[in-house]
């Protein structure tokens, strides 16, 4: 006498549990920690030459033991991503990435990355769009004022004045700031994760000055709409901005 009648409904086609029954953890603690630290670097939150927060603080904030954190740092050190110095004023410093023939390869590196992602590439781009459009709209709805508005304007100005090398890092910061000003920590956290993946792809293709100028004009329109509290305009501006990036990626992938 198994009362299974109620469950045999419209969802029988697909796996009804698919959205819930995913891996509880995407790897062991140490692997996830490596990813977190790489996120800090890929997002440009810790620029090349700067150092990470002290081990004790990192372990504390990631809620892991220092032992496990150190294993992760060890791997990144061996990989040439970090340089660790002892003593006071020491720490883990971010090294310049090895000069890979990425940008000049005409998209070969990008295709490799995209293949590694597989099905998750489409997922990543769609999820990014949902988060980014939602963040822009929420941010506009809150209509930042005072220090928050000034922060956006400062980031906008810095991004506009950035060199080609700095642009992607400052662009990331501007977008992340919008996500944070959405008022939802979850939106900000998920965006940070997804943007780190996107940056990994973007770092495989060259950035051109015309693209940059076009992008910056869109930034100005976006921030203007946000500060005016115009949700619809903010969303439209963000959508156009994202369309540019998506077209860029698709162009190199096809």
Partner DNA sequence: CTTTAAAGGTATGGCCTTGTACCATTGGAA
Partner DNA sequence: TTCCAATGGTACAAGGCCATACCTTTAAAG
Q: How far is CA 110 from CA 103, 146, 196, 226, in A?
A: 9, 41, 15, 33
Q: How far is CA 153 from CA 150, 167, 192, 193, 195, in A?
A: 5, 16, 21, 24, 21
Q: 22 or 86: whose CB is closer to DNA?
A: 86
Q: 84 or 121: whose CB is closer to DNA?
A: 84
Q: Using CB under 7 A, which residues numbered 182 to 201 contact DNA?
A: none
One residue of 184, 211, 216, 218 binding its own copies per CB under 8 A? 184
User: Following DSSP, what letter does each residue of 196-230 receive, concatenated?
Assistant: HHHHHHHTTS---HHHHHHHHHHHHHHHHHHHTT-
* Contact status: 37 vs DNA (CB under 7 A): no
CA 31 from centroid of its chain's CA atoms? 18
**Which single residue is written with the structure tokens 């992760």?**
72
One residue of 11, 80, 85, 100 binding DNA per CB under 7 A? 85
**Which single residue is written with the structure tokens 């790897």?**
27
Q: Which does 126 bind (CB under 5 to 8 A by kind): its own copies, DNA, none?
A: its own copies
Q: 31 or 220: whose CB is closer to DNA?
A: 31
* Contact status: 5 vs DNA (CB under 7 A): no
Q: What is the contact surface with DNA in residues (CB under 7 A)?
A: 1, 28-30, 52, 54-56, 63-68, 70-71, 73, 84-92
């Amino acid at each position: 006498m198994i009362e299974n009648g109620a469950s045999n409904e419209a969802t029988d086609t697909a796996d009804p549990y698919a959205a819930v029954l995913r891996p509880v953890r995407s790897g062991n603690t140490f692997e996830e920690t490596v990813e977190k630290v790489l996120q800090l670097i890929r997002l440009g939150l810790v620029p090349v030459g700067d150092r990470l927060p002290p081990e004790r603080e990192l372990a504390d904030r990631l809620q892991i033991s220092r032992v496990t954190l150190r294993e992760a740092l060890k791997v990144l050190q061996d990989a040439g991503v970090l340089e660790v110095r002892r003593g006071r004023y020491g720490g883990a410093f971010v090294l310049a990435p090895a000069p890979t023939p990425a940008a000049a390869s005409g998209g070969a590196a990008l295709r490799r990355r995209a293949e590694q992602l597989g099905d998750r590439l489409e997922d990543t781009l769609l999820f990014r769009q949902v988060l980014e459009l939602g963040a822009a709209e929420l941010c506009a709805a809150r209509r930042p004022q005072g220090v928050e508005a000034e922060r956006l304007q400062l980031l906008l100005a810095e991004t506009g004045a950035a060199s080609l090398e700095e642009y992607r890092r400052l662009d990331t910061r501007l977008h992340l700031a919008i996500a944070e000003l959405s008022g939802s920590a979850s939106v900000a956290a998920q965006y940070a994760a997804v943007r780190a993946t996107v940056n990994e792809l973007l770092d495989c293709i060259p950035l051109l000055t015309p693209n940059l100028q076009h992008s910056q004009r869109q930034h100005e329109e976006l921030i203007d709409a946000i500060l005016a509290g115009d949700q619809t305009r903010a969303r439209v501006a963000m959508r156009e901005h994202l369309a540019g990036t998506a077209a860029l990626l698709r162009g190199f992938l096809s």
